[in-house]
Each structure stands twice: as C-alpha cells, then as structure tokens.
C-alpha cells in the first residue's frame, strides 16, 4: 500500500503552483546513473552529477517534488536533532563535530545553489531554548562544547532572552549560520538545471523491479519500460522500504500550520528559527512573504496521521504553543498539514552502499535536517560515481 507522505494543504505547492511539467517514461533509456526519487534529495544529486559530466536519468512514482519535499518546513540547521553531546556519545566527538561541520558547509552550498532559483533562501540565527529549568545545566554544557569546537554560539540567560525576545525562558543557545528555504521551489530549480545539462526527468513512473547485472543495473517500470544504467541512486526517502526493502529508521508524523501574511514582524528579532529541548519539540520560522510557520506535536507514524480531525486538533495545540511565546500576536491560519519524517538511533542519515544491492547507493536523509543531509549526500555520491574515496563517507555508512 502506498504511503501518504503528507495530509492537508501543504503551503509550498499552493504558493508556487505548477512550476515544471515532466513526462512519464514511455520509452527505454540508457544512462550512467539512474536516480529513483525526484524530491529535494534526487534533485541535489542529479544537479551535482550532471554538472560533473555524468549522463543522468531521474524517475519518480509521483509528480516531481510532491512527496516529503512538498511538506517540509524548510528549516536549515547544521545542528542535528541529536545534540552534539549525545551524538558524541554515539560516534565520538571528532566524528560528531565533523558531521556538524559538514552540515554548516551544506547550508553554504544551498545558499549558492539558491541564487537564481527565487526560492526564499535567507540566513537566520536560531534560538534553542531550555523547555524547563532542569534542562539549563545540560544546555549550558552543550553550548560550551559547541563553542569549544568552533561553532558560533553564545549563551542567553533568562534576562537576556526577555530583553531581546520579550518572552521568558530559563536559558537558550543562540546560534548563527542557520537558514531557511522553499525546498519545493529549490527542487524544481535544481531539476531544471540538471535538465539543461542533459539529464532526463520522468515522473509518474513507478519502479516495479530492479535487476543487478554485470557492470550495472536495470530498472523496470510499471509502464513496461526500462532504464539500463551503470549505477543506481535510491533517493526515494521514506518509501525506500516499500520499494527496495532497505529501512534503517523509525517514521514519525509532524504537524504544521502556516499563517496568513503578517504586516509587521518587527517583534520577532532577526526572524530567527526557534526550537526547544523538550521532545517532541515545537519549531517556528517565518517566510519570505511574511508568514509564520509553526510545527511539532510529533507522533509515531501510522494511518492515524491522515485524520483531518486530528489535523485540526494539532493545529489548535500548535497555536497555543505559539501564543505562549507571543501572547499579543494574533495569527490567522492559512494552511495546515501533516508530514512524515524519519529518525535514526544517532540522528545521522544513512548514505552509502550495501552488499545486497551492488552498484547502488542509497541517500536516506532521515532526521529533521533532511535538506542539509541531502546536500552532503550529493557530494558523497558524486565522489562514489567518480571513484574518488571520500573520507567523510564512513560517518553516514550503513555499517557505522
């Protein structure tokens, strides 16, 4: 049974409309690399490979960018959902720091890629708040660890938060170098660039079977067509278990609403990203056209996620969380939706190869940082295709 990756009215496809139209695959193709998945991950990989001179074909069972990419909130953070302290306990401090450094560099890359896309990219600081007084000591230690390893952070106590933001919290890490983006529009821009460089993009084409052959792979589609390629990249996100039997994470649902435009956002300092230590956490951002986006209320994924009454209830609870921070601000909900995201034990994505699928690389951007993880994946896959060993590959391997 096909998984619904979103429920409700996701804002980004409504705002942007039908940017590009791609055909279904109605003839056989041959290429260097075939990419399964035309969301933000597949688009980043396609652009990076095409720019390297690789002959690329992209296929997706849905319309381009209408799965998880349409539901993403577009927060760009180098910080993982797993704190640097906790991540270091899983993988060691050197690897933990390196993964965060790669996330920071990924935001720089996204900024460069966004120059001609009109995709609402903006640099934003972030405020990571202690949800209770019992979180303060650990959060202070986390701030010190980040600072020690070169991340641009500072500690804000209760008085500083009240002075700058106008609400009270027990303490927070103020971090720089994060950002926000319209991932739906960025995906279309990247696919357009890959197409200009020779890539062929096909949507509404489901992969029904994959055959491994000497020196390559052949994918068969539900339309009776095939793509023969030297390599296969699987970028189909949370549908990977259904299509390829490779599932390394736990799926969750998250709920989001976005407001009608707010005339004056001067009460929101630096329009920074806001999130908190409690789990599940609430997260907030603004958009390029002056809207407020609030998300959270996460639960383990199930078909319950598709319930419209639940969507209304979650929206009301998110509004209450917003009002607890900004009680004098009145928002009007424009759109609300639910999306799916995945988590791993250590908070890092899985990017790499596995023995049971020769000539195949998986790019599974699990976690709350899927866009930055996908940007990292594009670099790793480019090097995998070129046969250039990448020392960072082991950070995200299935064998870690």
330 and 197 housed in the same domain: no
The whole-angstrom separation of Cα 247 and Cα 238 is 8
Q: What is the mean pLDDT of residues 368-381?
A: 94
- In this predicted structure, the answer to whether residue 241 has a pLDDT above a threshold of 70 is no
Let me know whether 262 and 301 are in one domain: yes
Degrees, nearest 5: CA angle 64-395-176? 75
**Is the separation of the CB atoms in 306 and 4 below 8 Å?**
yes
Residue 242 sits in the same domain as residue 382: yes
Same domain? 233 vs 369: yes
In a shared domain, residues 229 and 261: no
The pLDDT confidence band at residue 389, using thresholds 50, 70 and 90, is very high
* Residue 24 in this model has a pLDDT that exceeds 60: yes
| CATH number of the CATH domain containing 42 | 3.50.50.60
Average pLDDT over residues 48-54: 98
SS3 label, residue 333: strand
Work out the pLDDT band at 2, boundaries 50, 70, 90: very low
Q: What 8-state DSSP symbol labels residue 281?
A: P
The domain total for the chain is 2
Give the pLDDT of residue 3.
Answer: 47
Parent domain of 161: 123-176+250-343
Pairing outcome for strands 29-36 and 56-59: parallel
- 207 and 328 in a common domain: no
Co-location of 274 and 144 in the same domain: yes
CA distance 45 to 59: 13
**Domain shared by 171 and 23, yes or no:** no
Q: Same domain for 279 and 390?
A: no
CB 336 within 8 A of CB 292: no
Q: What is the CATH number of the domain that holds 135?
A: 3.30.9.10
Cα 349 to Cα 70, 80, 170, 285, 361, distances in angstroms = 20, 10, 31, 23, 13
Asked whether the CA dihedral 240, 242, 247, 253 is positive or negative, the reply is positive
Residues 224 and 272 in one domain: no
Task: Give the global pTM.
Answer: 0.94
> Of 343, 359, 384, which marks where a domain is finished?
343
117 part of a folded domain: no
Q: Are residues 226 and 263 in the same domain?
A: no
Do both 23 and 159 map to the same domain? no
Most confident of the ranges 138-142, 241-245, 306-310: 138-142
């Amino acid at each position: 049974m096909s998984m619904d990756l979103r429920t409700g009215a996701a804002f980004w496809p409504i705002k942007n409309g039908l940017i590009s139209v791609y055909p279904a695959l109605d003839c056989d193709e041959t290429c260097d690399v075939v990419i399964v998945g035309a969301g933000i991950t597949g688009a980043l990989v396609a652009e990076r490979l095409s720019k390297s001179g690789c002959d690329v074909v992209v296929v997706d069972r849905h319309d381009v960018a209408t799965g998880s990419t349409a539901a993403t909130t577009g927060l760009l953070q180098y910080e993982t959902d797993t704190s640097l302290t906790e991540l270091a306990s899983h993988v060691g401090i050197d690897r933990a720091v390196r993964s965060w450094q790669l996330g920071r560099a990924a935001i720089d890359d996204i900024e460069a890629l966004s120059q001609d896309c009109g995709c609402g990219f903006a640099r934003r600081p972030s405020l990571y708040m202690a949800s209770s007084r019992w979180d303060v000591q650990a959060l202070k230690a986390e701030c010190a660890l980040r600072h020690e390893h070169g991340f641009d952070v500072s500690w804000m106590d209760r008085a500083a938060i009240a002075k700058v933001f106008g609400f009270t919290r027990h303490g927070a890490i103020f971090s720089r170098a994060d950002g926000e983006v319209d991932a739906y529009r960025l995906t279309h821009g990247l696919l357009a660039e890959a197409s200009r460089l020779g890539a062929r993009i096909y949507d509404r084409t489901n992969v029904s079977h994959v055959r491994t052959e000497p020196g390559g792979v052949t994918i068969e589609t539900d339309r009776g067509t095939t793509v023969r390629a030297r390599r296969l990249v699987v970028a189909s996100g949370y549908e990977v278990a259904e299509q390829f039997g490779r599932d390394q994470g736990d799926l969750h649902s998250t709920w989001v609403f976005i407001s009608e435009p707010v005339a004056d956002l001067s009460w929101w300092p630096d329009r920074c990203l806001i999130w908190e230590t409690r789990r599940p956490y609430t997260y907030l951002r603004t958009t390029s056209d002056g809207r407020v986006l609030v998300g959270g209320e996460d639960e383990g994924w199930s078909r319950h996620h598709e319930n419209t009454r639940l969507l209304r209830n979650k929206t009301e609870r998110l509004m209450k969380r917003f009002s607890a921070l900004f009680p004098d601000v009145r928002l009007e909900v424009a759109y609300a939706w639910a999306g799916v995201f995945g988590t791993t034990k250590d908070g890092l994505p899985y990017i790499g190869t596995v023995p049971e699928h020769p000539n195949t690389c998986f790019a599974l951007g699990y976690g709350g940082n899927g866009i930055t993880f996908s940007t990292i994946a594009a670099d790793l896959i480019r090097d995998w295709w070129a046969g250039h060993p990448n020392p960072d590959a082991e950070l995200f391997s299935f064998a870690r």
